[in-house]
């Protein structure tokens, strides 16, 4: 990839990762602020040169003859300005002139060249700065509680070639992140001990994903494998799955109760007890079902007592009126029994007596 001169404004090339041996189309930005913003957003170093057109062509030729530059440039931001411009000098607060520099995403100069460096030196310096950028980004991510992002930055730093002194710090930081992952495995073990198998499985799966590439991820995967071989755990997970379905019915039962549809609620509770025995929700449903059933029994008894009391009273009045010859009044009371309690034995008796009167 070549740096392309521009005599009117700052020109930025975002050099993406080479795919299928071909570079992606560059993204052009109009000013240095945009260049710095892109560098910050992507946590990548910025490489800038301020050269005369002649020197720029010579430098481009040198880059063309440096095969490893494409690899280095694939993870940095490139800027070129004409030699007479002092824009970069002002932005980076440099008093002396320079022909090239490597800056951090924050815009702070990391390396300043007073003479044109060789392409090999540029490659080496970009990689070294990039390692420090990754370490800083990893530290910030870890401080913010994002171990997955921190691990991603550290793993990028460890993939850089050739090795740099920062890699020792990267390995140390990665080991520390792995220890934090192992602490979470201990918490998952505690959940297993409490037979909270669903929570333990979810925790171990998350650790394996969040700490991918670390010893913690490997340990979490092994622990999960061993856990899922345990018949007691499998039974517990099956029961937990049943409990989820039972809990949905339980919520429907509570809603029916709130609407005072007690028989509907009792039906839901009974289904939970019958279809999902042994689940925590079934244990919760059982006393609710018994309470509703007891309430229903009490209401039924009260109804039966009231029905029998009223029917006996109306039947006696009707019989007395019939014996005394007041047939219309007798018919009225017999009809009252039939209207109020049509499907009872008292209603059947009332109908027979009405036939005899008529």
Which tens digits make up the pLDDT trace of 232-260? 888 888 888 888 899 999 999 999 999 98
Q: Please give the CATH architecture assigned to the domain spanning 11-117.
A: 3-Layer(aba) Sandwich (3.40)
234 three-state secondary structure: helix
Q: Which residues pair with 13 in a beta bridge?
A: 78
Q: Residue 122: pLDDT band by 50, 70, 90 thresholds?
A: confident
Reply yes or no on whether the pLDDT at 136 is more than 70.
yes
If one compares 53 and 127, the residue with the highest pLDDT of the two is: 127
Confidence tier at 149 by pLDDT (50, 70, 90): very high
Give 45's DSSP letter: -
**Three-point CA angle 178, 150, 161, nearest 5°:** 95
pLDDT at 15 over 50: no
pLDDT reported for residue 82: 61
Q: Is the CA virtual torsion 26, 31, 32, 36 positive or negative? A: negative
With a threshold of 0.85, does the pTM exceed it? no
Average pLDDT over residues 75-98: 68
Kindly report the CA angle at 45 between 178 and 164, in degrees rounded to 5?
55
What pLDDT does 70 receive?
64
Residue whose C-alpha is closest to residue 133's, from 96, 161, 107, 112: 107
pLDDT of 24 reads: 32
Look at residue 26 in the predicted model and tell me its pLDDT: 30
**Mean pLDDT estimate for the chain:** 81
pLDDT for 27 equals: 35
Q: Tell whether the model's pLDDT for residue 276 goes beyond 80.
A: yes
pLDDT of residue 73: 55
Q: Is beta strand 11-14 parallel, antiparallel or unpaired with respect to 46-51?
A: unpaired
> In the chain, what are the helix, strand and coil shares in percent, each to the nearest 5?
65, 10, 25
Find the mean pLDDT for residues 204-221: 94
Residue 109 — φ and ψ, nearest 5°? -60, 135
Q: Given pLDDT bands bounded at 50, 70 and 90, which one contains residue 354?
A: very high
What is the domain partition of the chain in residue ranges? Answer: 11-117, 145-229, 239-357
User: Which CATH number does 239-357 carry?
Assistant: 1.25.40
Q: Are 41 and 34 in contact (CB under 8 A)?
A: no
Question: Structure tokens of 177?
Answer: 């992140």
CA-based nearest residue to 19, from 63, 59, 74 = 74
Sheet holding 11-14, edge to edge: 11-14, 77-82, 46-51, 100-103, 109-113
Question: Between 173 and 123, where is the model more confident?
Answer: 173
Average pLDDT for 42-71: 71
What is the longest distance spanned by two Cα atoms in the chain?
Answer: 136
Both tokens of 163, joined, read 């090795």
| pLDDT score at 279 | 87
The per-residue b/e assignment along 125-135, b for 16 or more CB within 10 angstroms, e otherwise, is bbbbbbbbbbb
Q: Please report the pLDDT score of residue 17 as a whole number.
A: 27
The percent of residues above 70 in pLDDT, for the chain, comes to: 83
Distances (CA, A) of 65 to 56, 58, 77, 118, 208: 14, 11, 20, 11, 43
More confident residue, 161 or 232: 232
Cα 295 from chain centroid (whole Å): 44
């Amino acid at each position: 990839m070549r740096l392309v001169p521009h005599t009117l404004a700052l020109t930025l090339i975002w050099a993406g990762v080479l795919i299928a041996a071909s570079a992606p189309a560059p993204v052009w930005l109009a000013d240095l602020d945009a260049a710095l913003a892109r560098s910050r957003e992507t946590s990548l170093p910025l490489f800038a040169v301020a050269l005369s057109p002649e020197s720029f062509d010579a430098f481009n030729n040198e880059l063309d003859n440096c095969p490893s530059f494409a690899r280095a440039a694939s993870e940095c931001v490139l800027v070129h300005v004409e030699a007479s411009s002092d824009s970069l000098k002002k932005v980076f607060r440099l008093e002396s002139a320079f022909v090239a520099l490597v800056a951090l995403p924050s815009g702070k100069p990391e390396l300043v060249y007073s003479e044109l460096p060789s392409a090999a030196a540029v490659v080496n310096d970009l990689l070294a700065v990039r390692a420090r950028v990754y370490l800083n980004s990893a530290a910030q991510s870890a401080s913010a509680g994002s171990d997955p992002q921190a691990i991603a930055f550290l793993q990028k730093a460890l993939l850089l070639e050739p090795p740099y002194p920062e890699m020792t710090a990267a390995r140390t930081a990665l080991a520390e992140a792995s220890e934090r992952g192992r602490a979470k495995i201990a918490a998952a073990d505690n959940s297993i001990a409490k037979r909270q198998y669903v929570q333990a499985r979810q925790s171990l799966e998350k650790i394996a994903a969040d700490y991918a590439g670390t010893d913690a991820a490997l340990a979490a995967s092994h622990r999960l494998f061993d856990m899922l071989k345990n018949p007691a755990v499998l039974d517990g997970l099956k029961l937990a799955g049943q409990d989820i379905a039972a809990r949905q019915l339980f919520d429907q039962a509570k809603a029916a109760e709130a609407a005072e549809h007690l028989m509907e609620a009792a039906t839901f509770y009974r289904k939970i007890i019958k279809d999902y025995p042994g689940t925590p929700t079934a244990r919760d449903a059982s006393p609710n079902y018994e309470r509703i059933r007891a309430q229903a029994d009490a209401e039924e008894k009260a109804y039966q007592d009231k029905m029998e009391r009223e029917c006996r009273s109306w039947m006696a009045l009707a019989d007395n009126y019939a014996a005394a010859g007041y047939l219309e009044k007798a018919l009225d009371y017999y009809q009252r029994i039939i209207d109020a309690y049509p499907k009872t034995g008292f209603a059947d008796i009332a109908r027979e007596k009405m036939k005899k009167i008529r």
